């Protein structure tokens, strides 16, 4: 089988950092650690990585059950997933962002909190960037999504535009995508621990997204620092693929100066 990016599946062992956090462009620059939407593969961030070439190093979380980890069952255990993923990529001292897209913003929050425990006083600036995601509201909506049958999930993914139609039409790939989506939704639906970040939260959405001010304001419960909201012109919900250039510029402005 080939990956969603058209690459052959590797069967050899890889170091933990590369297994969990493949680097999508040149290393050695300020870090942008990306967590995708439910069911996403690392390739979802390739366009953003290209836009950040020479400005920031982009790494994307590769969860079990996709890409080169197809042989592993997807995980719906938030604590175990965060502990292992955080340990696989030791926190750096330089500037770094954790970028979570849609439901991935909630797993990104957990990772940011974990890294704050490990490295409480980093030398560089830190922030959580929630792209197209309001704060979790404690409802059962996400958990209900994780119980949908495969056909319902396929229809939902087709409507959202998050997954290429040809992949959803491929029976083998569809089963993989559905299993990953269901597990990722369960991760996102799990209640967050009673903690607050020390770093700012930057909410980013497309100007045509339906994210509301109240949904963004909810992030204030989850950080002791500031919360700001930035709209990206020319984009709706999927900012990472619709306007990766403008998102890249926004991230770089935060990394190098006042937001």
CA–CA dist 155, 44 (Å, integer): 20
Strand-pairing partners, residue 104, are none
Residue 140 has what pLDDT?
61
Taking only the tens place, the pLDDT of each residue in 88-111 is: 987 677 889 999 999 999 999 999
φ/ψ of 131, rounded to 5, equals -100, 115
Task: Specify the CATH number for the domain of residue 220.
Answer: 3.40.50.1820
Domain count for the chain, please give it: 1
Is 189 a member of any domain?
A: no
Residue 57: which domain range? Answer: 16-138+194-256
Residue 10, pLDDT above cutoff 50 = no
SS (H, E, C) 208-224: CCCCCHHHHHHHHHHEC
Does 147 fall in a domain?
no
Give the pLDDT of residue 144.
Answer: 77
Q: Look at residues 34, 83, 40 and name the one whose alpha carbon lies nearest to residue 65.
A: 40
> So what's the pLDDT on residue 141?
72
pLDDT above 60 (res 203) = yes
27 domain-assigned: yes
Residue 158 lies in a domain: no
Q: What is the pLDDT of residues 127-169, one digit of tens each?
A: 999 999 999 876 567 777 877 888 888 888 888 777 777 777 7
User: Would you say residue 44 lies in a domain?
Assistant: yes
Residue with the bigger pLDDT between 144 and 182: it is 182
Which of the four pLDDT bands, split at 50, 70 and 90, describes residue 188? very high
Kindly state whether residue 63 falls inside one of the protein's structural domains: yes
Instruction: Phi first, then psi: give them for residue 215, nearest 5 degrees.
Output: -65, -40
* 174 assigned to some structural domain: no
| Residue 41 resides in a domain | yes
Q: Is the pLDDT of residue 6 over 80?
A: no
User: With 0-12 CB in 10 A as exposed, 13-18 as middle and 19+ as buried, what is 223?
Assistant: buried
């Amino acid at each position: 089988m080939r990956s969603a990016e058209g690459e052959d599946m590797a069967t050899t062992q890889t170091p933990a950092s590369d297994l969990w956090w493949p680097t999508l462009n040149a290393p050695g620059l300020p870090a942008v650690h990306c967590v995708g939407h439910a069911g996403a593969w690392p390739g979802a961030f390739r366009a953003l990585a290209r836009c950040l070439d020479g400005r920031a190093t982009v790494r994307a979380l590769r969860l079990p059950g996709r890409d080169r980890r197809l042989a592993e069952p997807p995980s719906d255990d938030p604590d175990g997933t965060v502990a292992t993923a955080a340990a696989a990529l030791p926190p750096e001292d330089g500037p770094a962002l954790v970028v979570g897209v849609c439901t991935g913003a909630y797993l990104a929050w957990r990772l940011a909190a974990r890294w704050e425990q490990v490295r409480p006083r980093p030398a560089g600036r830190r922030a959580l960037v929630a792209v197209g995601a309001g704060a979790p509201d404690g409802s059962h909506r996400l958990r209900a999504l994780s119980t949908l049958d495969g056909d319902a999930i396929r229809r939902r993914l087709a409507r959202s535009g998050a997954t290429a139609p040809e992949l959803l039409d491929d029976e083998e790939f569809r089963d993989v995508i559905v299993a990953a989506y269901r597990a990722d939704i369960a991760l996102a639906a799990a209640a967050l621990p009673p903690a607050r970040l020390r770093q700012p939260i930057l909410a980013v959405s497309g100007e045509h997204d339906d994210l509301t001010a109240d949904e963004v304001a909810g992030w204030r419960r989850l950080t002791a620092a500031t919360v700001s909201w930035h709209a990206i012109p020319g984009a709706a919900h999927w900012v990472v693929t619709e306007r990766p250039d403008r998102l890249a510029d926004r991230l770089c402005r935060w990394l190098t100066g006042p937001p």
